[in-house]
Structure 1
Amino acid sequence: MPFAIDNEVCNACGSCEEVCPNNAISHKGKVFTINAAKCKECVGDFDVAQCADVCPSGACALIAA
């Protein structure tokens, strides 16, 4: 289940994009998105999802199934 960014909460700091090991995060202007096909929740790279770990506003979260 991939992560998503809540752009109503996101402050567009770009921290998530910098730390994503799969280059799954991109942006157009101040709108950040996570490519679900690329997002692996950092499994195999880190113990926790890096986007959620560095996000100061809590905008990165798992998508509910």
Structure 2
Amino acid sequence: MNGDTAWQKATASNAGGDCVEMRRHGGTVQVRDSKNPDGPVLSFGPGEIAAWLDGATRGEFDHLI
């Protein structure tokens, strides 16, 4: 995981801004609420993000929506 990136919002986010944004920063992946860019930021290591993406791809979290 090299280099920092700008905040990125999913293309599926709605016009009301109900979405999270993610970026790569300082060797972590950071997540924040797009409606509150000055609010808290969660940071995850590469292994944590890889595990979450794998679970999301497999539908493990579908019951939450």
Q: Report TM bin, short chain.
A: under 0.3
Larger radius of gyration: 2
When normalised by structure 2's length, the TM-score is 0.23
TM-score, reference length from structure 1: 0.23
The structure whose RCO (Cα within 8 Å, separation 6+) is larger is 1
